[in-house]
Amino acid sequence: MAPHLAPASSSRSGPVVRHLILTADDFGLHESVNEAVEQASHAGVLTTASLMISGPAAADAIRRAQRLPQLRVGLHLVLADGQSTLPPGQIPALAGRDGFMDARMVQRGFAIFANPSARRQVAAEIRAQLEAFRRSGLCLDHVNAHKHFHVHPTVLGILLSLAGEFGIRAIRVPQEPAWCARANGKWQAAAAAASLVPLAAAMKYRIRRAGLLHNDRVFGIAMSGAMDERAMLQVLARLPPGVSEIYLHPASQSGSLISASMPAYRHADELAALLSPRVRAAVNAASIKLGGYSDVFQDIAGSAVVCSGR
């Protein structure tokens, strides 16, 4: 288990330190996503990817990640809007007969609270995805969840209980500053962000208590699927001290070509943002420390991350 870690903004004095984790979510969802991740890792500012271990293109994603030693890869836990890892007969409360877990997160969230059988199935599926990630041979940089389902207290509790066994060192907290939503006219998103503040605070407390690392804030919720160059430059211009994560959904194609649940996503524009010379210049000008969660962990804890995966 890791030593107790506070967020970077409160862990050091002296010069202002801005850690930035630039993450591509949905790695393994589609080959054009994987292509974008590889391209942005080589030629852009992308540092990190979150892998859907049971995604349709997961095997291709793992092969690409194995030849990208500079890319930090974490688990993008899927408990909704995606394929299960376990056979559907073992998790009927989560998946249909075809193994697909639909996007009805509210109903599933209540079931996890109220139904002990559903909780056991969720725990089994989370374990199966962590085991599959470990078999990939990749070093586990972090864990987050598709559609942020890990904000569910039970799901988070299961992850924390498995942290020591699977080498989980960092978990994303999806807390976005309200100004980011307001600046883009996303008043509904700003209200939603405000409503998550108490839940995010509880997440941070539980994660720190477990001795793990979390980000101070995230950017990408209000502008999900639209984190283009303009949005990236806007965030970089106001990036505060501490650990910030910007997550994107880059791909060489866009919208429903990637997934039926993403018809309005501008994946190609998000890839262009990661490859933008203006974005790279803004990162350089702000003296930002780029890296993954493992790099932040090493900087704060003062010890190298030992990975049992590779």
How confident is the model over 35-57, as pLDDT tens digits? 999 999 999 899 999 999 999 99
Strand-pair category, 242-248 with 289-290: unpaired
More confident residue, 305 or 223: 223
Q: pLDDT band at 255, cuts 50/70/90?
A: confident
| Mean pLDDT across 195-210 | 91
State residue 194's pLDDT score: 74
Give the least confident one: 2-11, 78-87, 172-181. Answer: 2-11
State residue 166's pLDDT score: 97
Q: Examine the pLDDT at 147 and tell me if it is beyond 80.
A: yes
Q: Examine the pLDDT at 1 and tell me if it is beyond 60.
A: no
- Tokens 């506070």 correspond to 6
State residue 10's pLDDT score: 39
State residue 72's pLDDT score: 98
The full DSSP string for the chain is -PPP---GGGT--SS--EEEEEEEEEETS-HHHHHHHHHHHHHSS--EEEE-TTSTTHHHHHHHHHT-TT-EEEEEE-SSSEE-SS-GGG-TTT--TTSEE-S-HHHHHHHHHH-HHHHHHHHHHHHHHHHHHHHTT--EEEEEEGGGGGGSHHHHHHHHHHHHHHT--BB------HHHHHHTT-HHHHHHHHHTHHHHHHHHHHHHHTT-B--SEEE-STTTT---HHHHHHHHHTPPSEEEEEEE---SS-GGGT-TT-TT--HHHHHHHHH-HHHHHHHHHTT-EE--HHHHHHHHHSSPPP-S--
Give the least confident one: 87-96, 103-112, 131-140, 143-152. Answer: 103-112
- For the entire predicted model, the pTM comes to 0.91
As a whole number of angstroms, the longest Cα–Cα distance in the chain is: 57
Chain-centroid distance of CA 203 in Å reads 15
Q: Examine the pLDDT at 264 and tell me if it is beyond 60.
A: yes
Length of the chain: 310
| Mean pLDDT across 181-185 | 73
Q: Cα separation of 112 and 104, whole Å?
A: 12
Q: Examine the pLDDT at 85 and tell me if it is beyond 60.
A: yes
With contact defined as beta carbons under 8 Å apart, do 160 and 207 qualify? yes
Q: Examine the pLDDT at 2 and tell me if it is beyond 80.
A: no
* The pair of three-digit structure tokens given for residue 115, joined into one six-digit string: 């139904």
Q: Examine the pLDDT at 185 and tell me if it is beyond 80.
A: no
Give the whole-number percent of the chain exceeding pLDDT 90.
76
Q: pLDDT band at 180, cuts 50/70/90?
A: confident
Q: pLDDT band at 4, cuts 50/70/90?
A: very low
Q: Examine the pLDDT at 266 and tell me if it is beyond 60.
A: yes
With contact defined as beta carbons under 8 Å apart, do 301 and 257 qualify? no
Q: Examine the pLDDT at 187 and tell me if it is beyond 90.
A: no
| Mean pLDDT across 273-296 | 95
- Tokens 């997440």 correspond to 203
